[in-house]
Structure 1
Amino acid sequence: MLVHLAATFSLVLISATALNVQAVASETSAAGSRREAVPVDYLPFAQNVGRVFLEVPATAGGGGVDSVQVCSALAISTRLIITARHCFFDITGGKIPYTAAYVQIGYTAAKTGETHKLNPVFIDESEQEDFVVVETESVILGFSSSQMRAAESLPSGGKSLFILHHPDRVSTMALTRMQCAAFKTPIDGVFLRHTCDTSPGSSGAPIFDGNFRLVGIHRAGGRTAEDESFNQAVTFQALMEQSQVIQNAVKAWGGAVGSLAASINTQVEYKAEAHNIYFYKSDDKWFFRTGTDGVVFNLVEQSDVAGMVELWRPFDDKVFKFPAAGGSGVVKPKPISPWTDFGLFKKIK
């Protein structure tokens, strides 16, 4: 069966079991769980999620190649992805004899996404934490860091989660959020126990909390209909502690959370009263924050009209405009949209 990923790339899909992928990738779907097509409000996160394919010698012989989808992945920059290390190794621990590897980023029911060849040499890896960082040979054009941020703390038992992944190895991306939560005893060393429905192909997928903060990378199944069963991810906190490469990528993201947000030296600040949203300037750069301790996003100043402030928010393409002295402001849902009322902007600093 031919599955076209891009105009110049096609795959012949075979079963991943033919490669004897490590058993840690074997996962059992949880009873009563549900997978959804990725809703539009999750697409800003889905555009950084992908699926990894390996090109291997054809099972039919003759010198050809087969391609198999082995895992999910997360782009952490325009040239780096993170996924589960075991996706590249067989059940004996030896590296799968693949001739090329590819990642398809942003493949949903609505979009084909983009496909990139992977560098055969890993940038960083750990067998214990079961992760690899791999470089793409071309720039991931759809990557956006404006919505990416890591959770400051580990999730407590029962905390709602969601996962964006490519379960069953042949599907478009799915969202799992129903019955998806941290297990009652969620942390085991560097690992996060969770109840999110996964299948072979889900390893390497990002797991987020209900505030859209990255908490882990899925690595193994194990959950059944039994109440005491769970699946397993490696915490993103552990990955940042282990890998300087991942740390550097996170530092380059546009968002900040909690204490990092609080540490920003504010020069000027406004509050959109009706929306509990703050706009402020620090070191000649503009930022946006929801509430007093919410997520911080970069804003881009759009004009230099005397007495007015006009700011573009790359996260969702909105444009805001309000008087520099404070007063009634307006918003455009998209740059080409007409202005609509956004209420009072109060200057508080």
Structure 2
Amino acid sequence: MNWNETLTILNYRLARLYRQPNAAIAVVERANYNTLQIDISGNPAVMWFNILDYARTTANNWNKIIALLEVVTSPNEMGAEDETLKGILENLKKGQVPVEPPKPVAVAAVPPVEEKRLEKIMGSKSTLLPISFLEQGLVCARAVVRVVTPAGLGTGFLVGDNYVITNNHVIDSIDTARQSVLQFNFQKTLQGLDAPLEEFSLDPDAAFTTSTDRPETAVLDYTIVKVKGNPAAKYGTLTFSPTAAKKEDFVNIIQHPAGGPKQIALYHNVVTGVDEQVVQYLTDTLPGSSGSPVFNSAWQVVALHHAGGELVDPESSQTVVRNQGINGLRVKEAFDQLIA
């Protein structure tokens, strides 16, 4: 059974309800999960991803998910009044297995016979890119790092003169920064082997800022920290786009999903909503991807990924299931203020 939209909804909903490991262990053991086979460490989103991934991979059907939902929606449990969880449970018990609908494909109208051609741009925007796009992406990927903190794993990226940017919910304080390390090159080689890993510590006493420092930026979920040493000389740095992403733009995310080896999300990569603070998109992420750079097609950073699941559409205010990043222009403003 592949990871899907329903599991993403459950991931974030359960992470909000059961934030502490002891509470999570209690409900999964009641669902007859073998907790010895599950990594319960890390922040709540990562913890619940590990739990649901265990259920998905060990049963290869929805039976373990059903057993878990029966526990969390039972009387006196945190999900007893959660209509979304109860609705998912009811549908699964009826055999209504959720299937992601196919993405709509723009189809060009068939022209008269005399106007037909053998080639055509299929859709409102061309998806053709120069082959150097791939080479440039590999160069930029070098500056994307796994962030290892006392509370769990995330992603970050280098900018400027050896600064790393990630989320506030990954590194929330100077004390956390002192105890965290960056892992460069945590990825697989072309042969499927582990690439040589290199670690760098952080230097928050030299420079540190985070979104919760000021009330007006608290919701922007960023942290920027000076890095010890000079990793930029070897791994390079990323640059911000001077303009904001627009709806229907294509975006790509280089990330450490679930804290694992570096990966890239290239498919279903359409921007679906933008405002002054956030950019929303369909590009895939997982817990552990927090702090990833969201790139435009020129490999410039247009957003700092920070959340996914049920979100509010910035235009319609309706609840939607998407991924979301902090608008890159807001993050760049914070960085410029730090180094000024």
- TM-score, length-normalised on structure 1? 0.51
Q: What is the one-letter code of the residue matched to 1:150?
A: F
| Change beyond 3 A, Cα 1:31–1:74 | farther
1:77 maps onto 2:160 in alignment: yes
Q: Which one of 230, 241, 244 corresponds to residue 336 of structure 2?
A: 244
Give the CA deviation at 1:239: 1.2
Q: Which of the pair is proportionally richer in helix?
A: 2
Q: What is the one-letter code of the residue matched to 2:235?
A: F
Aligned residue runs from structure 1 range 93-242, under 5 A: 100-110=179-189, 111-121=195-205, 123-127=208-212, 128=218, 129-140=220-231, 141-145=233-237, 148-169=238-259, 171-183=260-272, 186-222=273-309, 228-242=320-334
Q: What is the one-letter code of the residue matched to 1:154?
A: A
SS at match of 2:320: coil
1:42 maps onto 2:168 in alignment: no
* CA distance in 2 between partners of 1:96 and 1:18 (Å): 20
Q: What is the one-letter code of the residue matched to 1:167?
A: P
> Deviations 1:192-247 (Å, cap 9, x if unpaired)?
111111101001000001222210110111169x9932111011111122332567
> Deviations 1:260-281 (Å, cap 9, x if unpaired)?
xxxxxxxxxxxxxxxxxxxxxx
Q: Which of the pair is proportionally richer in strand?
A: 1
* CA distance in 1 between partners of 2:196 and 2:100 (Å): 30
User: Does the Cα contact within 8 Å between 1:151 and 1:214 map onto a contact in 2?
Assistant: yes
SS at match of 2:309: coil
Give the CA deviation at 1:95: 8.9
SS at match of 1:51: strand
| Change beyond 3 A, Cα 1:16–1:98 | farther
Give the CA deviation at 1:18: 2.9
* CA distance in 1 between partners of 2:281 and 2:249 (Å): 9
SS at match of 2:169: helix
| Change beyond 3 A, Cα 1:234–1:80 | same
Tell me what 2:29 maps to: none
Q: What is the one-letter code of the residue matched to 1:135?
A: K
| Change beyond 3 A, Cα 1:95–1:212 | closer
User: Does the Cα contact within 8 Å between 1:162 and 1:209 map onto a contact in 2?
Assistant: yes
SS at match of 2:268: coil
- TM-score, length-normalised on structure 2? 0.52
| Change beyond 3 A, Cα 1:17–1:219 | farther
Percent identity over the alignment?
18
Cα RMSD of the aligned pairs, angstroms, is 3.8
Q: What is the one-letter code of the residue matched to 1:218?
A: H
Q: What is the one-letter code of the residue matched to 2:171?
A: F
User: Does the Cα contact within 8 Å between 1:150 and 1:214 map onto a contact in 2?
Assistant: yes
Aligned residue runs from structure 1 range 259-274, under 5 A: none
Q: What is the one-letter code of the residue matched to 1:123?
A: F
Which ranges in structure 2 are unaligned for 5 or more consecutive residues?
A: 1-36, 54-98, 103-133, 190-194, 213-217, 312-317
* CA distance in 2 between partners of 1:223 and 1:229 (Å): 5
Give the CA deviation at 1:152: 2.4
User: Does the Cα contact within 8 Å between 2:163 and 2:224 map onto a contact in 1?
Assistant: yes
| Change beyond 3 A, Cα 1:165–1:82 | same
Which ranges in structure 1 are unaligned for 5 or more consecutive residues?
A: 1-13, 34-38, 57-67, 249-349
> Deviations 1:17-48 (Å, cap 9, x if unpaired)?
534x3669988999599xxxxx6552200110
User: Does the Cα contact within 8 Å between 2:158 and 2:236 map onto a contact in 1?
Assistant: no
| Change beyond 3 A, Cα 1:99–1:79 | closer
